[in-house]
Amino acid sequence: MGRQPCCDKVGLKKGPWTAEEDKKLINFILNNGQCCWRAVPKLAGLLRCGKSCRLRWTNYLRPDLKRGLLSQCEEKMVIDLHAQLGNRWSKIASHLPGRTDNEIKNHWNTHIKKKLKKMGIDPITHKPISTVTDEPQTQQQPEQLQHQKEEEQKQQQASLTDTVSEIDQSKELETEASLQSSSFTEAKEEDKSMTSPFDPMELMNGFCIDEVPIIEPHEILVQCAPSSSTSTSSSTCSNSSNLFQDLQFPDFEWPCDYNNSSNNSMGLWNDDLSSWDLLINDDGDTADFQSFSESVSKNGFGSRILGI
DNA sequence: AATCATGTCAACCGCCTAAGG
DNA sequence: GCCTTAGGCGGTTGACATGAT
C-alpha cells in the first residue's frame, strides 16, 4: 500500500501554468487569502492539485518576490548559509527576503556549485577540494598566505554583516547575525586546521570580478519613482504598498518594508503596478493578462528588470 | 540555416513533520 | 499513543532557451 496521493490526480492538469490559470489563482488568493490549499483548486476553478497551486503562488506569483539574478551579496550569503545549514533551502531562503527556496536551490545548482568547483572548493563541504586528497601539500602553505587569507575573511565578514543588516533588520536577524558571526568564526577555525593551495585572492576576485555578473543591486532592482511620478509603466513603492494594504487580504502578511518609503528595493511588484491593475480588474482582457503573465514567467522579469 | 550540446529553471514527485481527531 | 491529513521541503526531471559547430 503506497501513500495516498495528496489529491485526486485524475483529470488534473500538469505542466506549465497558463496566464488564465495564474489569473484565477491570483484572484482567488487576493480575494480569499491563503488557506487550505487542498480546497483552492476547486474554489478557484482550477484543474490543479493544491500542492501545485501553493507552489505556483509561493514561488512565482507572490507579490513580495524579488526577481532577477542574485546579487553578489545575496550569493555570498547563500554560500555562507549553505556552509552552515547544508541543503536546507527553505532555511536559507528565509534569510533572503524576496527569494524562494526553489530559486536559491536552482541558483546553487546552476551557478554557485560550478563557481565553487572552479575555485577548487567542494560545494558540499565548502573546503578546498585539493586538501581532501593532498594533505601534505597543504602543510607547505606559507604562513604569509595564511595570514592574508584571514584578512580576506575578516573583510568578507564585515561585508556580509553590512549586507545582512541592509537586507533584513528584523529581530530574527539578530539571531542570524550571531549565526553569521559564528559561521565565520567556524570558517576561520576550519582554516586554521586546514590550509589550502588555492589563492584566496583568486577566490575573492572570482566572486567580485570574473565569475559573478557585475550587477549591483541598484541595477537589478527598480528604483522607486518619486511619489509624484507621472510614469504610466511604473509606480512608486508607496503606491503599491497602499494598494496591497487597501486590499486587506486575509491571512496575508505584507512585509513591513513595503511601508518603508526608504526601501526602494521591492523589486517586481512595485515596478509595474499596471500589472496589478490587470489582475485585480476582472474586466481586463486576456491579452493584457497574457502579457503580464508572460512577464511573470520564465526570464520575463529578470530580463525586464535588467533592461535586456 | 540546420543540428547538436549545454544551460537554465519551472514544476513535479515523494518523503517528512506537525496538527488534529 | 495511533492514525489521518495537509503543508512543507529537498531532489529530480524535462521543456525550453541559448550557444557552438
Instruction: Enter the DSSP assignment of A85.
Output: H
* Separation in Å: C1 C1' and A85 CA: 33
> Within 13 Å, how many C-alpha atoms sit on residue A275's CB side?
23
pLDDT value of position A9: 58
| Number of helical H runs and strand E runs in chain A | 18, 0
How much is the pLDDT for A108? Answer: 87
Measured CA A109 to C1' C20 distance, in angstroms = 23
> What's the CA gap between A53 and A63, in Å, rounded?
15
Q: Report mean pLDDT in 10-residue bins for chain A, 308 residues.
A: 47 85 88 84 88 88 81 86 87 87 88 82 77 41 43 47 42 42 40 35 36 35 33 32 37 38 38 42 44 45 32
- Predicted TM-score (pTM) of the model is 0.58
Contact A289, A275 (CB under 8 A): no
What pLDDT is attached to residue A131?
Answer: 53
pLDDT of res. A217: 36
CB within 8 Å of A81: residues ≥ 6 apart? A91, A92, A95, A183
Footprint of strand B on the protein (CB under 7 A): A 2-3, 6, 9, 13-17, 48-49, 51-52, 55-56, 59-60, 102-103, 105-107, 109-111, 114, 297-299, 302
pLDDT of residue A214: 33
A7, three cell numbers: 489529491
Query: Which of A180, A195, A105, A183 lies closest to A147, judged by CA?
Result: A195
- pLDDT attached to residue A10: 64
- Per-residue confidence (pLDDT) for residue A73, from 0 to 100: 85
- Angle ∠(A62,A68,A73) on CA atoms, nearest 5: 105
d(CA A268, CA A254) in angstroms, rounded, equals 14
The residues, ordered by sequence, that sit 6+ positions from A166 with a Cβ below 8 Å of its Cβ are A73
Q: Pick out residues 79-98 of chain A having their CB under 7 A from any atom of nucleic acid strand C.
A: 87-91
End-to-end CA distance of chain A: 52
Region of A68 please: left (phi>0), alpha (psi -120 to 50) or beta: left
Cα(A14)–Cα(A9) distance, rounded to whole angstroms?
Answer: 9
